[in-house]
Homo-oligomer: A and B are copies of this chain.
Amino acid sequence: MGKVTENKQQKERSLLNTAFQLFTSKGIAKTSISDIAQQAGIAKGTFYLYFRDKYDLQERLIVHKAEVLFRHAIAAVQNQGSMDPEEQIIALLDDILTEMQRDPRLLRFINKNLSWAVFRRAMDKSNVDYLCEVKRILSSGGQQWQEQELMLYTIIELVGAASYSVVLDQDPVDLERYKPWLFRSVRAIMEAHRIREG
């Protein structure tokens, strides 16, 4: 890789980071390209060498952040080593929630911008197939599920939505107090989809 290419990649990452700072502190609508360029220490025109416009940047940022989050969570599950699908899913969610708690701006940004459609697009662009990874988890120990994709969808939407105000505003309760009940609900949902052998 040439010096120039390397330099460009670094500058792109710098722009993504700067934009994330600004998007999460002032909001996307109130963040101008001038702001981003200035904060990143480049000329306004340079921005357009890297992104088509603010929304191009936004999309690339979502993809990037979602991917980092998932990579971390999948790794956490693998390190934990349990073979029970339910426990692995809970561990996955727990890791994600912990990350969100650590950086609530990430939650605010992803949650406000991540739709199911965007999520899938992000997964497509990624090198690793995270969805497939999650499906492998669900099949651990030979377990099978009714309407597996819908179950996943339900869980993702529930956790994504419910975590928002809990993490950001501790409303209606704080995360530590909500987690047991949230996980109990997740287990109940999984139970409702489980195919019993016998």
Contacts and interface: CB of A to CB of B under 8 A. Distances in A.
B29 A171 contact: no
B116 A165 contact: yes
8 contacts: A115-B165, A116-B172, A117-B171, A150-B181, A154-B181, A157-B164, A161-B161, A188-B188
Contacts of A165: 115-117
A182 interface: yes
Interface in A17-35: 29
B173 A184 contact: no
A75 interface: no
**Quick one: copies of this chain in the complex?**
4
Contacts of A173: 150
Given A29-B29, A154-B182, A181-B154, A149 B161 contact: no
A116 B171 contact: yes
Interface in A80-121: 115-117
Contacts of A115: 164-165
Interface in A153-198: 153-154, 157-158, 160-162, 164-165, 169, 171-173, 178, 181-182, 184-185, 187-189, 191-193
A183 to B, nearest CB: 10
Interface of A: 29, 115-117, 147, 149-151, 153-154, 157-158, 160-162, 164-165, 169, 171-173, 178, 181-182, 184-185, 187-189, 191-193
A14 to B, nearest CB: 24
Question: Binding site of A, secondary structure by majority: helix, strand, loop or mixed?
Answer: helix
A149 B162 contact: no
A174 to B, nearest CB: 11
A187 B189 CA distance: 9
Contacts of A185: 154, 158, 188-189, 192
B171 A150 contact: no
